[in-house]
Amino acid sequence: MKYLIATVILLLSGALNAQELLQFDNDSQRDLYRSLTAELRCPQCQNQNIADSNAIVAVDMRQKTYELVRQGQERQQVLDYMINRYGDFVHYQPPLNRYTLWLWLAPVLMLALLLGTAIYRRSRQPQHNADTKSELNTELDQLIKRYRSKKP
């Protein structure tokens, strides 16, 4: 019983103390802040977003993101603010331009090439395929016949 009361008190104290360190006007601002800090990249520590990183610059960028979101700025405005200062590097979603176009084009081209090769190879040997198929079929028929004739 003593343990049960202690557990309940512990659980309750956690629930009562659980309050956000950052205050927002509404939930959509909080969501915006969360998604922005998750997709903005820390310029100092490689391959971490600013939500995960505790580098000085990441702390400052989080603070700035918080201020801008509290001011009621839109998602794209905050992203532009950061990209103006830290370049495209700072956003995990690269913009579509003539340098990054290949990121999207390369897989499509690769697939087209593969498909083209496959169709070409297939079109070269259709009769041959049919021949082997009929040969195989007659062979199988004979096998089945032999097998059946053995049965009592």
Partner 1 sequence: MRKLFFYVPLALFLLLTVFLLSGLFSDPRERESASLNKALPEFALADLMQPQQIWTPQQLHGETFLLNVWGTWCPTCNAELGYLTELRKQGVKIVGLYYELPRDPTFDTPFNLKTLQQDVAQKLQQNGDPYQFNILDLERSLSLDLGVSGAPETFLVDADGIVRAHHIGDINPRIWRAKLAPLYQQWSQP
Helix (H, G, I), strand (E, B) or coil at 49: strand
According to the binding rule CB under 8 A, does residue 111 interact with partner 1? Answer: no
Q: Are 37 and 88 in contact (CB under 8 A)?
A: no
Residue pair 20/29 in contact by the 8 Å Cβ criterion: no
Residue 64: CB minimum distance to partner 1, A: 6
Interaction between residue 57 and partner 1 (CB under 8 A): yes
Does residue 85 bind partner 1 (CB under 8 A)? yes
Instruction: Determine the Cα–Cα distance for residues 80 and 64; give it in Å rounded to an integer.
Output: 13
Q: Which one of 24-32, 56-64, 98-106, 140-148 is the stretch in contact with partner 1 (CB under 8 A)?
A: 56-64
Residues 61, 40 contacting (CB under 8 angstroms): yes
Binding of partner 1 at residue 46 (CB under 8 A)? yes
Positions touching partner 1 (CB under 8 A) are 43-44, 46, 55-57, 59-61, 64, 83-87, 89
